[in-house]
Amino acid sequence: MVSRITLRNITLLLGSTTTVLVAIIAPALPGMAEAFASLPNADFWVRQTLTMPALFMAMGALFAGQLLDRVGRRPVLIVSLILMGLSGTAGFFLNSLTAIMVSRAILGIAVAGITSGFTTLILDSFKGDELNKFLGYQAAAVGFASMLFLFAVGFLAELGWRPPFLIHLFPFIVLPGVIFFIDEPERDAAGPAMGVEKVPFPWRRLAPVYVTTFTGMAIFFIFPVQLPFYLSNEGPSQIGTALALQTVSSVFVALLYQRIKARHSYFAIFGVVFLTLSLNHFIVSLSTTFLVIIAGLIIGGIAPGLFPPNINGWLNSIAPAELRGRAVGLLTSSLLLGQFASPLIAQPFITKFELPTTFAIAGALALGVALVFAAAAYRQKTDLAPAVKDGI
């Protein structure tokens, strides 16, 4: 018989995968742009439907984190999953681009609670090596689910731009697991409802975590938003396949995260993350064939395999347990602001230089960040060397 803890862990993993649904309609964007072609700047506004949830997720996460600490993890998750299912599927029925964007904004608020809630529960439930292992499992589950969802949406988009919105029914599958198998953590371990404000929030120590999160998402998210337009000569199923294949390497690397973290620091791992993002962007910018683009995406898939567990682990090593929900909420906010800002930052470059050059510029930025983290990792290693030598 399957134990309750196993069912809880399965629910935590399945719940974590719901967050990928926000960007999963990417293969349908060209069809949407065609359907609303009569509207001014239709291409730009259709792109924004993909990232609109991120803005409201970022704002919602600020409140979700405090609600998680004060009201509890379970109530926030139940309400958020129901709201996500309803708002996410609304695009299948709506005929106005404005109405779709409103529904996507509501979706963002719901996903803020889901993203923060499941991550906080994982940090509540595991410690040390077990936490690193489960964070790797979480990233692998997200990557694998992203691959399956993208394949499914790619083929659904062949039927039209509306069917992909039905993929947002998935939260209703996760909901029973939260109701029956998730218990509210002990208040003394997860953060007391009273007196939370007595613990000072470590803004200075956590600021680099949030800046790294924003930067990583702004660079990475160029592909889900812009690649469907870059591959406009390909069919929706091919676009979905290209994006899905990126997750192959992310799943593999995520499963190895515990072993990687045992040997390398957070800084060193971030150096690899941004280096692979850089290679991804450079290869795609120089590519002339569909197969070369896929090769670049597979290399870039290493980044989303390592980034989530590494950023969550780094935050958990700094944030006080009493403020864990708030700290994760701000992390979620930084992540989603990066997603939302990505097309806004990229658009002026696309207008002036077109997509290949924009990819190359993003690759150069990622390479610069990789060098910063490599230098930080080297400095950290040399600073620790005397202590290790002395047996401290």
Q: How many domains does the chain have?
A: 1
Q: What is the pTM of this model?
A: 0.75
Using only C-alpha atoms, what is the Rg of the chain? Answer: 20
Question: pLDDT at position 337, please?
Answer: 83
Contact 97, 39 (CB under 8 A): yes
Question: pLDDT at position 375, please?
Answer: 94
Question: pLDDT at position 389, please?
Answer: 43
CA distances from 55 to 43, 174, 254 (A): 19, 24, 27
Residue 235 has pLDDT above 70, yes or no: no
Instruction: Give the mean pLDDT of 307-335.
Output: 88
In a domain, 34, yes or no: yes
In a domain, 260, yes or no: yes
In a domain, 2, yes or no: no
The single-letter DSSP state of residue 182 is P
CA distances from 219 to 77, 275, 356 (A): 29, 12, 14
Contact 353, 243 (CB under 8 A): no
Residue 336 has pLDDT above 50, yes or no: yes
In a domain, 295, yes or no: yes
Residue 67 has pLDDT above 50, yes or no: yes
Q: Which domain holds residue 109?
A: 8-383
The Cα 325–Cα 313 span in angstroms is 14
Instruction: Give the mean pLDDT of 88-108.
Output: 90
Contact 25, 74 (CB under 8 A): no
Q: Pick from 138-147, 157-166, 208-217 the range whose average pLDDT is largest.
A: 208-217
In a domain, 3, yes or no: no
Question: pLDDT at position 383, please?
Answer: 67
Read off the pLDDT band of 78 (50, 70, 90): very high
Q: Is the dihedral of CA 377, 378, 380, 385 positive or negative?
A: positive
In a domain, 392, yes or no: no
Instruction: Give the mean pLDDT of 325-329.
Output: 86
Question: pLDDT at position 118, please?
Answer: 93
Instruction: Give the mean pLDDT of 47-74.
Output: 82
What percentage of residues in the chain have a pLDDT greater than 70?
92
38-52, 184-198, 315-329, 337-351: least confident range:
184-198
In a domain, 315, yes or no: yes
Residue 192 has pLDDT above 80, yes or no: no
59-73, 227-241, 283-297: least confident range:
227-241
Pick the closest to residue 307 from 144, 142, 128 (CA basis).
Answer: 142
Tokens representing residue 32 in the block:
């949407």
Contact 122, 72 (CB under 8 A): no
Q: Vertex 204, ends 126 and 54: CA angle to 5°?
A: 65
Q: Give the phi and the psi of residue 182 in degrees, each rounded to 5.
A: -100, 120
The Cα 50–Cα 189 span in angstroms is 37
Contact 323, 191 (CB under 8 A): yes
Question: pLDDT at position 195, please?
Answer: 45
Question: pLDDT at position 370, please?
Answer: 96
Question: pLDDT at position 158, please?
Answer: 83
The single-letter DSSP state of residue 232 is T
In a domain, 389, yes or no: no
CATH code, 35: 1.20.1250.20
Following DSSP, what letter does each residue of 39-60 receive, concatenated? STTHHHHHHHHHHHHHHHHHHH
More confident of the two residues 192 and 199: 199
Predicted confidence (pLDDT) per residue in 362-374, tens digit: 999 999 999 999 9
